[in-house]
Structure 1
Amino acid sequence: MPGVAVSENGWHTGEVAMHKALRVPTSSYRNPTQLNFPLSHGLRIAENRLAAFGTLDDEGRPWTTVWGGESEFARPVAEGLLGVQSLADVRDDPVAQAIVGSAKDDELVRLDANGARGKMVSGVSIDLETRDRVKLAGRVLVAGVGKRRGGEGSPVAEMRMVVVVQESLGNCPKYINKKVVRKHIPSPQLVSTDLPLPTEATDLIAKSDLLFLSSTNGDTMDSNNRGGPPGFVRVASNTTDGVVLVYPEYSGNRLYQTLGNLYLNPRIGIVFPDFEMSDALFLTGQAEILIGPKAAALLSHTKLAIKVTVTAARFVKDCLPFRARMGEPSPYTPPLRFLVDEERDGLVASQSPVATASLLTRDTLGPSIHRYVFRLSPADSGKPPTMWKPGQHVTLDFSEELDAGYSHMRDDDPQSLNDDYVRTFTISNPPPIPANAGSDEIPIKNGTELEITVKRHGPVTAFLSRHNPRVPLKIPVLGFGGEESYRIRPSRHTSSDNRTGKGDYVVFVAGGIGITPVLAQAPGLLEPVDEGAEANFRLIWTLRAQDLPLALDVFERIQRLARLSTLFVTGRARQEERNTIANIERLGAQVFARRLKKEDVVKLGGLEGTKIRYHLCASQELLSVLGSWLNGKDYVTESFAY
């Protein structure tokens, strides 16, 4: 590349800059991109049914498209040459326009750009059934428009071009949900070239799990794919003031070829293909690379992101020469990341610590359940965090303890590749202030204690369960949250209400560790209004026999809760667990050694004629069952999808 400085290991200036910013040891290995077109790469491309291509328009703006639908639409035709013949919308497809805009039917045009032989182009050939990928870059030697489909003047024609391949690279991307591709004859309809984007275009972005993009460093181009869960690209703005998209850069192969180009030249071209309907959203714009706090400030729980300010767009219906049906999802796909202003369930957006939690004690409440007590201290700078409300959660960042750095693929634990080790736990002790203190802005002081009661599941809780409490452990606190609708607010009986059956009730149904939202709220839930009164609250709790120590601990610590509770114990109870059941019954709880049934939840003795609001906190499987039982009734569910 004569215009861009290249290191002795084959990395250009932008790639080296990104490697330094992201702490990749550039000097330790060579750029694996081959400066030729091996036959093996050509044969792989010939097998694939799709390829995305990118080029620059007359204004120097990158655009990207996707062609194909069947094998061998792209194939090697001579040494170093790739031939492409695919149906395309040669009227509205911006890449086709940029390459053959001046060509007549059945005419091949030799392309020159900026005095160089051939128009700069890049591509990524991809097999969505095997996740195989071959990238290439070079120049279009000749191109043209072949046979029309739909008669003279039809925008659908055979797009033909021969590419001199100057660079190629083959690998396997992680974030591809498999799809079965088939050929399709398109009937293009240009819907919009305006900004902001129409609703149909933003709907396509919201459901997309795969996009293709192109970039340039001035000497060559690069086309690549980005995948993730549907909606992984977020629309940050879509107004007359500007259209802005944001997406996370997941852990990849650490080459950072796209980001290296964007570092030197922020122009980017993106296409969102609709695999079901053959629609396409073509975008071009300016990209900004966000690293660390800048990424987290815009996209929650993200360390590396791309912000795209769209400058031009085309939304075209039924313009792609293929369709596809979904296959096996990628095991590597990370959780969906939301924009900071899209906070959901109180999601903590910022990754700047507001406090520090120092581990004090760990109590074992069963084979896999522990209670941890932390001492809080406000962060060194900034406004001290305010006290949490009963029923809220705390978000803790364990990345300094557990983040072991980069790994490309791990078949034993695919999700770990993008694990930020940020975890959210329901707080299981009330704040050390009266519930009726009046102000929601009471700051946390040094020494405030916070408890979480958790089940060992995954790397963070496994780390906590094996950590020696005698060894100091300080964890950054990112904040507190929780939707108001999940807080339990029962009214209370008077003595006469108890006799008449009047009043509204809250029934909390917990599965296992799902009891935690009750623990911090219990003082406010169970305090009687007057002598002889009883809170309008009942607890239905199902858990395994081996977790009975948790139930006994809860009932011993929270007076009056046991007599409002019905416990369903599953699994075989040994003598020790039968003794625990006896102790629980002595505290006033009803205990049944069986699974929970519909009538246990719906037909509650003594509550006939009362209005009941259900709070559900359990595994997703149990929540689904409870939802079917309570169809048409008033209930809310506690979500742990923070």
Structure 2
Amino acid sequence: MAVHMERTPFHPGEQAIHKLLRIPPRDNPTWAGLPPALAYRVAASPLVAFGALDKQGRPWTTVWGGEEGFAGPLGSGVIGARSLVDGRHDPVLEALLLLDDGRMDDDGKGKKEEGNEGYQITREELESGRGRLMAGLSIDLATRDRVKLAGRLVAGRVDRAGEDEAGHDDGVADVQVAMLVEESLGNCPKYLNRKAIHPQVPAPQLVSDTLPLPPQALDLLARADMFFLSSTDGRSMDTNHRGGPPGFVRVLSNTDTTDDGGVCLVYPEYSGNRLYHTLGNLHTRPLTGLCIPDFVTGDVLYLTGETAILAGADAARLLPRTKLAVRIRVTAARFVRRGLSFRGDVVDYSPYNPPVRRLAAEMATAGDAATGDDGQTGSEDKAVATAVLVGREIITPTVACFTFRLLVPRRRQRWWRPGQHITLDFSGELDVGWSHMRDDDPGSLNDDFVRTFTVSSVPGGGGDKSDEEELRDGAEMQITVRRHGPATGLLWRWNMKVPLEVPVLGFGGQEGFLIGGDGAHQNGGRNKKKVFVAAGVGITPLLAQAPGLLAKGEEDVTLLWSLRGEDVAFAVDVFERIEGLAGRTKVFLTGDSVDAAIVNKMEALGGQVIRGRIDPEEVLREGGGGGTKTTRYYLCTGSEMMKVLLGWLEGEDVVYESFEY
């Protein structure tokens, strides 16, 4: 028998967001009611996030469950759920079913029958539309399946679940709810990080219910790879999830006064289905409630606050390279230890996750780095020049040097300084526009194809260039990069007979990485011994600086260079280009693919070759034994090696380029 289900139209808030973001007209795929197929998917999910409004009208969100079957259809259009929960501090349980003193609130929850401790659903309530607004999101992280639900509470019951050793209430509640589903929608699997979920009895302990957030909450936010959020337009509610790489939610401020910013968070809105149900609600009523679960410990952070939708330049000012974001000023929070009824083990992360996008303030503090094809730096969106590819030299199968001629318009543009990077916009060649899913290239959905690379050539081909001297039209510059990702892949395969023109968004890089200079972070670095530690193409900041340093007779510069065996020809190329550098270099070769003839050539040029990884004794020995503060270390490696090096060099004078994007 065919079942006819109506669709619901977009409400004014959603339509306003569509207009703001220039979304083409389309029908709302949300179902009126609950189709049987979606009801089945709810029953197969081990978790359901629920959202509700407290007495002040503030949204809150929680997540219940732990095993498949705890929720499912009770009848036509009605979903029921039964779970052990935190009976003391769960804000949604409190909003739906409890009075201020923790007793059951039976107003509007159903008809209590004589001799029956439960609450029964009646036809009167189903047809009257009474019951508090609520929303749900069933989610199966093992299969990356989720279903959104919106409706009203029609029945509920809360029982004390257990006692502690002293015979007192242990704070765990056995809760049952029935929800009349008025709207439902199956959602896509993007940004869902797979986890194996298993049940766990809660053991709730309230750590904090005041602002600012405690250190434990900040630590959870720094590690969180997903959260649940609820919103309302006043007529209905919406509960959904946001996911990404660990740390994708950033803390703008965490103070106890609004004069200093108060508690404020921001997260990027990644490319999605462009329905914008959540943002439409936030446009109408700028309030949201978040639940950030810790799947390892069972801790949970509940937040509610005021929101602001940031689009275009407003988003990029806070989160560079971000086109759409949401800022949340937290007005109330609860951090509960072991308040969840489940745990989860990471299986894998979503291939759609983009790199973490750091705050502009974080980048200014750490110094924005030159990086490669996955770099996420800079916020410029206007070209200051055009780079025309005029040369390509393949040094190894994975490392190449590319030469660009710069076409500079009439506006002023200064020369880059040695060690700085250039930001190039490849979107004109690589961006194919929006699509909902793209399994063959998932990373491209949130990719703006803007990349930063260290300039490996000396400004002007040699000699010093004043900050006041303008970059001349037709000047050439080089980048030396490893093939990794779409932008470098484009450079590798480009037909050199056809011009490739790429907009230049600017030059950048922190002052402190100017070797031997007296930048803002140098603290007298000019008179210290310099040890540069690099891995692979991490040597590129030195390539533009070494000729000048050696020409000035700098005697206290040492290079420790970790290199894969298959890239040993890269070292030979560098030593041949920069006379005198080999004699100051120790090359640490890893892997088995080493060409002995090329190694002999490198040694003939004066380089010292050591088989194996860089060790702490070698690093500290080159710096004079450690603890003397007479050496400055410059580090340019991948993130994992960087963490190890910073551990070895704790207490030392260290400058490093950050690759945490």
Shorter-chain TM band: 0.7 to 0.9
Which aligned pairs between 1:284-303 and structure 2 lie closer than 5 A? 284-303=304-323
Change in Cα spacing, 1:146 to 1:418, as seen in structure 2 (3 Å) is same
1:122 to 135, 138, 142: 135
Which aligned pairs between 1:359-508 and structure 2 lie closer than 5 A? 359-366=388-395, 367-376=397-406, 384-432=412-460, 440=467, 442-469=469-496, 471-489=498-516, 506-508=530-532
Report the Cα offset of residue 123 of structure 1: 0.3
The answer to whether the Cα contact below 8 Å between 2:390 and 2:405 also exists between their aligned partners in 1 is: no
Instruction: Report the equivalent of 2:3.
Output: none
Report the Cα offset of residue 620 of structure 1: 6.4
Which aligned pairs between 1:582-593 and structure 2 lie closer than 5 A? 588-590=605-607
Report the Cα offset of residue 122 of structure 1: 0.7
Which aligned pairs between 1:52-131 and structure 2 lie closer than 5 A? 52-102=49-99, 104-105=103-104, 109-110=108-109, 116-131=129-144
The answer to whether the Cα contact below 8 Å between 1:131 and 1:176 also exists between their aligned partners in 2 is: yes
The answer to whether the Cα contact below 8 Å between 2:108 and 2:130 also exists between their aligned partners in 1 is: no
Report the Cα offset of residue 45 of structure 1: 1.8
Give the 3-state SS of the residue equivalent to 2:456 in structure 1. coil
Instruction: Report the equivalent of 2:114.
Output: none
Instruction: Report the equivalent of 2:117.
Output: none
Change in Cα spacing, 1:505 to 1:512, as seen in structure 2 (3 Å) is same
1:346 to 368, 376, 400: 368
Report the Cα offset of residue 210 of structure 1: 1.4
Please list every run of 5 or more consecutive structure 2 residues that lacks an aligned counterpart in the other structure.
1-5, 111-124, 370-376, 519-526
The answer to whether the Cα contact below 8 Å between 2:160 and 2:169 also exists between their aligned partners in 1 is: no
Q: 2:25 aligned with 1:48, yes or no?
A: no
The answer to whether the Cα contact below 8 Å between 1:122 and 1:221 also exists between their aligned partners in 2 is: yes
Q: Tell me the amino acid that sits aligned with residue 294 of structure 2.
A: D
The answer to whether the Cα contact below 8 Å between 2:84 and 2:174 also exists between their aligned partners in 1 is: yes
Distance (Å, rounded) in 2 between the aligned partners of 1:600 and 1:95: 52
Change in Cα spacing, 1:441 to 1:200, as seen in structure 2 (3 Å) is farther
With 213-222 and 506-515 compared, the bigger mean Cα shift is at: 506-515
Report the Cα offset of residue 612 of structure 1: 6.9
The answer to whether the Cα contact below 8 Å between 1:581 and 1:591 also exists between their aligned partners in 2 is: no
Give the 3-state SS of the residue equivalent to 1:258 in structure 2. helix
Q: 2:550 aligned with 1:526, yes or no?
A: yes
Q: 2:33 aligned with 1:36, yes or no?
A: yes
Instruction: Report the equivalent of 2:10.
Output: 11
Q: 2:229 aligned with 1:205, yes or no?
A: no
Report the Cα offset of residue 134 of structure 1: 1.4
Report the Cα offset of residue 447 of structure 1: 4.2
Change in Cα spacing, 1:378 to 1:205, as seen in structure 2 (3 Å) is farther
Distance (Å, rounded) in 2 between the aligned partners of 1:252 and 1:585: 54
Which aligned pairs between 1:226-265 and structure 2 lie closer than 5 A? 226-239=242-255, 240-241=257-258, 242-265=262-285
Report the Cα offset of residue 489 of structure 1: 3.2
Report the Cα offset of residue 436 of structure 1: 6.6
Distance (Å, rounded) in 1 between the aligned partners of 2:57 and 2:306: 12
Distance (Å, rounded) in 2 between the aligned partners of 1:231 and 1:606: 35
Distance (Å, rounded) in 2 between the aligned partners of 1:385 and 1:401: 25
Distance (Å, rounded) in 2 between the aligned partners of 1:203 and 1:250: 23
Question: Could you report, residue by residue, the CA deviation over 1:517-569 in whole angstroms, capped at 9, with x for unpaired residues?
Answer: 2210122221254xxxx733344556578756655553443333345456678
Report the Cα offset of residue 351 of structure 1: 3.0
The answer to whether the Cα contact below 8 Å between 1:106 and 1:145 also exists between their aligned partners in 2 is: no
Report the Cα offset of residue 247 of structure 1: 0.1
Instruction: Report the equivalent of 1:158.
Output: 174
The answer to whether the Cα contact below 8 Å between 2:77 and 2:180 also exists between their aligned partners in 1 is: yes
The answer to whether the Cα contact below 8 Å between 1:295 and 1:302 also exists between their aligned partners in 2 is: yes
Change in Cα spacing, 1:358 to 1:462, as seen in structure 2 (3 Å) is same
Report the Cα offset of residue 265 of structure 1: 2.4
Distance (Å, rounded) in 2 between the aligned partners of 1:327 and 1:135: 23
Change in Cα spacing, 1:506 to 1:601, as seen in structure 2 (3 Å) is farther
The answer to whether the Cα contact below 8 Å between 1:271 and 1:281 also exists between their aligned partners in 2 is: yes
Provide the TM-score with structure 2 as the length reference. Answer: 0.80
Distance (Å, rounded) in 2 between the aligned partners of 1:417 and 1:636: 34
Q: Tell me the amino acid that sits aligned with residue 372 of structure 1.
A: F
Give the 3-state SS of the residue equivalent to 1:157 in structure 2. strand
Change in Cα spacing, 1:441 to 1:197, as seen in structure 2 (3 Å) is farther
Distance (Å, rounded) in 2 between the aligned partners of 1:148 and 1:206: 33
Question: Could you report, residue by residue, the CA deviation over 1:218-257 in whole angstroms, capped at 9, with x for unpaired residues?
Answer: 2221100111122211111222113221001112233222
Distance (Å, rounded) in 1 between the aligned partners of 2:305 and 2:623: 62
How many residue pairs get matched? Answer: 610
Give the 3-state SS of the residue equivalent to 1:432 in structure 2. helix
Change in Cα spacing, 1:315 to 1:443, as seen in structure 2 (3 Å) is farther
Question: Could you report, residue by residue, the CA deviation over 1:467-506 in whole angstroms, capped at 9, with x for unpaired residues?
Answer: 3455444433334333455443399xxxxxxxxxxx9754
The answer to whether the Cα contact below 8 Å between 1:173 and 1:252 also exists between their aligned partners in 2 is: no
Distance (Å, rounded) in 1 between the aligned partners of 2:579 and 2:449: 36
With 219-228 and 387-396 compared, the bigger mean Cα shift is at: 387-396
Distance (Å, rounded) in 2 between the aligned partners of 1:322 and 1:573: 50
Q: 2:578 aligned with 1:558, yes or no?
A: yes
Change in Cα spacing, 1:291 to 1:621, as seen in structure 2 (3 Å) is closer
Instruction: Report the equivalent of 1:500.
Output: none
The answer to whether the Cα contact below 8 Å between 2:52 and 2:60 also exists between their aligned partners in 1 is: yes
Report the Cα offset of residue 121 of structure 1: 1.1
Report the Cα offset of residue 136 of structure 1: 0.8
Q: 2:328 aligned with 1:308, yes or no?
A: yes
Distance (Å, rounded) in 2 between the aligned partners of 1:557 and 1:194: 61
Distance (Å, rounded) in 2 between the aligned partners of 1:45 and 1:232: 27
User: Percent same amino acid among aligned pairs?
Assistant: 49
Give the 3-state SS of the residue equivalent to 1:48 in structure 2. coil
Distance (Å, rounded) in 1 between the aligned partners of 2:623 and 2:404: 40
Report the Cα offset of residue 48 of structure 1: 2.0
Change in Cα spacing, 1:483 to 1:42, as seen in structure 2 (3 Å) is same
The answer to whether the Cα contact below 8 Å between 1:297 and 1:349 also exists between their aligned partners in 2 is: no
Distance (Å, rounded) in 2 between the aligned partners of 1:216 and 1:139: 13
The answer to whether the Cα contact below 8 Å between 2:7 and 2:28 also exists between their aligned partners in 1 is: no
Report the Cα offset of residue 456 of structure 1: 2.2
The answer to whether the Cα contact below 8 Å between 2:191 and 2:243 also exists between their aligned partners in 1 is: yes
Q: 2:293 aligned with 1:273, yes or no?
A: yes
Give the 3-state SS of the residue equivalent to 1:245 in structure 2. strand
With 274-283 and 543-552 compared, the bigger mean Cα shift is at: 543-552
The answer to whether the Cα contact below 8 Å between 1:128 and 1:176 also exists between their aligned partners in 2 is: yes
Instruction: Report the equivalent of 2:120.
Output: none
Question: Could you report, residue by residue, the CA deviation over 1:289-348 in whole angstroms, capped at 9, with x for unpaired residues?
Answer: 222222111112211111112233333333333333333333332211111111134254
Change in Cα spacing, 1:364 to 1:549, as seen in structure 2 (3 Å) is farther
Question: Could you report, residue by residue, the CA deviation over 1:436-478 in whole angstroms, capped at 9, with x for unpaired residues?
Answer: 77x6565545444332122222100111223345544443333
Question: Could you report, residue by residue, the CA deviation over 1:345-364 in whole angstroms, capped at 9, with x for unpaired residues?
Answer: 42544233362232141131
Change in Cα spacing, 1:633 to 1:169, as seen in structure 2 (3 Å) is same
Q: 2:337 aligned with 1:323, yes or no?
A: no
The answer to whether the Cα contact below 8 Å between 1:355 and 1:376 also exists between their aligned partners in 2 is: no
With 453-462 and 92-101 compared, the bigger mean Cα shift is at: 92-101
Give the 3-state SS of the residue equivalent to 2:32 in structure 1. coil
The answer to whether the Cα contact below 8 Å between 1:490 and 1:506 also exists between their aligned partners in 2 is: no
Distance (Å, rounded) in 2 between the aligned partners of 1:568 and 1:184: 48
Change in Cα spacing, 1:235 to 1:441, as seen in structure 2 (3 Å) is farther
The answer to whether the Cα contact below 8 Å between 1:527 and 1:535 also exists between their aligned partners in 2 is: no
Distance (Å, rounded) in 2 between the aligned partners of 1:85 and 1:606: 64
Distance (Å, rounded) in 1 between the aligned partners of 2:62 and 2:333: 13
